[in-house]
Structure 1
Amino acid sequence: MTKRVAFVTGAGRGIGREIALKLAQNGLSVAVTDVHLENATETVSQIKELGGTAEAVLCDVTKLESVEAAVQNTVKHLGKIDVLINNAGWDKIEPFLKSEPSTWELILSINLMGQIHTCKTILPLMIENGYGKVVNIASDSGRVGSSGEAVYSAAKGGVIAFTKTLAREMARHKININSIAPGPADTPLFKEIGEYNEGIATALVKAIPFRRLAKPSDIANAVAFLASDEAEYITGQTLSVNGGLSMV
């Protein structure tokens, strides 16, 4: 994987930051993209402290023009894009009947349309270069549902279906497209959205056979495998990383 270039969305903190660090440790140059440039810059600093190569890039995945500008910026500074990690995501946990259209729109824009925007922009570059790996971050909620996350589950279910279809269309170009479906993870976002139920983390830990939430590194390790040449014969798959919470 030496000298490959990865474009990671939502890499300013949490799982995205851990993915960026892991890929950098594996020898990739990383475009650390985030809607909050200061967070992306902090991730880049950590990568450079480890001796890696990275560039902080402003990117709002909800806007196609922003994605296009971020991709152009990445190619300008890092030369190309070999690996796309669609990690940017957001949720608000609440009963569906108490949710509002503005929340639905934001959830769908970030979690589903964001991945559509990046794939539309970056896949042609991969085809031209003759190489590409795409890993979309979905969720087990998109496979089995999750109370309080109706629209988020719908978006992530869409990501899984989108991944499978793109994998079929891109196979003739030898581009691998897979998704990771994390279970509940100990991230800043999880702490922010956990107010819906004060005991949600405790209840989840009891339900997970491994008796702990996922660490960002658990997700990053799985992403790094699917982004590597060791996974060259794997495409259109959804890998759950959930400690056994669901087994589908």
Structure 2
Amino acid sequence: MTVPRALPALHATPLDLGGRTALVTGAAGGIGRACALRLAAAGAEVRAVDRDAAGLEKLAGAARDLEGAVEPHVLDLTDLDAAERAAAGTDVLVNNAGLQLVRPIEEFPPDVFHTVLTVMLEAPFRLIRGALPHMYGQGWGRIVNVSSVHGLRASAYKSAYVAAKHGLEGLSKTTALEGAPHGVTSNCVNPAYVRTPLVEQQITDQALAHGIPEERVLTEVMLRDSAVRRLIEPEEVAEAVAYLCGPQSSFVTGTSLVLDGGWTAH
């Protein structure tokens, strides 16, 4: 099922990351792709990390006319040592990579649970660990963890994803406390459902889990708790990430920037 685009292209606010190196995980598509392009447009040299080589090449092609550059870096984040090495020397780190499986707990494959926690919690820890020495050495750094409304609220049938995102919230706050004396901020961005392949691929699983037709999933499950009843665009999330990398946000750390259309207002 394809979900139509709900919003026109955004006009980006000014951001200068010239001379900075940024690393974005899950960069081949969706939110990660939008973040990589946004940071490259601001002048950053972006290390685009993903296991999808073809997607990274398309991303690099799309970035050719931007102020910065995108360097494809094919990497499976379950290789934790390689992830930590890849983060060395970065000024901006965007932990975005994720995966999803919708199943009741009693049917949830333990190996998938382990993989989700590895990619979405342990890998961010290792990436942060690899990035901090350089950030501390120069007295400046920006860490943005793409969390979710599911980092603040739970949903049925998403035990691994919810557990990983809740853990990421705690990791981000701890990083903020440790990084503050060194000029390093750490924050989460918490969108609700974003118009990405990951979300569109969930629709069939959600329909099966809830016992309803696919065409009812968006309104009856995904957008049920949202006051603003539409999907978020990846570019909107990327703009929030950009804000957290700018000079105007230097006092913003250890927090969660919630883009949930009013979901958590209930």
Decide: shared fold, TM above 0.5: yes
CA offsets 1:79-129 (integer angstroms, 9 cap, x no match)? x41100000111111222211101111110111111111011111121122
Corresponding residue number in structure 2 for 1:75: none
More helix by share: 1
How large is the RMSD of aligned CA atoms in angstroms?
A: 1.6
CA offsets 1:3-29 (integer angstroms, 9 cap, x no match)? 221110110111100011111122222
Aligned-partner Cα distance in 2 for 1:210–1:233: 29
Corresponding residue number in structure 1 for 2:12: none
Q: Choose from 189, 192, 196 the match for 1:180.
A: 189
Aligned-partner Cα distance in 2 for 1:144–1:69: 33
- After superposition, the Cα gap between the structure-2 partners of 1:169 and 1:182, relative to the gap in structure 1 and judged at 3 Å, is same
Q: TM-score, normalised by structure 1?
A: 0.92
Q: How does 1:114-125 map to 2 (within 5 A)?
A: 114-125=123-134
SS of 2:152's partner is helix
Query: Per-residue deviation at 1:194?
Result: 2.0
Alignment-mate amino acid for residue 79 of structure 2: K
Query: Per-residue deviation at 1:51?
Result: 4.8
Q: How does 1:16-31 map to 2 (within 5 A)?
A: 16-31=32-47
- After superposition, the Cα gap between the structure-2 partners of 1:144 and 1:207, relative to the gap in structure 1 and judged at 3 Å, is closer
The 10-residue stretch of structure 1 (51-60 or 110-119) with the greater mean CA deviation from structure 2: 51-60
Structure 1 runs, 4 residues or longer, greater than 6 Å off: none
- After superposition, the Cα gap between the structure-2 partners of 1:2 and 1:51, relative to the gap in structure 1 and judged at 3 Å, is closer
Q: Does 1:3 align with 2:12?
A: no
Q: Choose from 107, 110, 123 the match for 1:98.
A: 107
Aligned-partner Cα distance in 1 for 2:57–2:73: 8
Aligned-partner Cα distance in 2 for 1:225–1:71: 21
Aligned-partner Cα distance in 2 for 1:183–1:51: 30
Corresponding residue number in structure 1 for 2:152: 143
Structure 2 unmatched ranges of 5 or more: 1-16, 208-213
Q: Would you say the 8 A contact 1:27–1:52 is kept in 2?
A: yes
Q: Choose from 194, 218, 221 the match for 1:201.
A: 218
Corresponding residue number in structure 1 for 2:254: 236
* Identity score, percent: 32
CA offsets 1:176-195 (integer angstroms, 9 cap, x no match)? 01011111111001111221
SS of 1:177's partner is strand
The 10-residue stretch of structure 1 (25-34 or 176-185) with the greater mean CA deviation from structure 2: 25-34
SS of 2:223's partner is helix
Query: Per-residue deviation at 1:146?
Result: 1.2
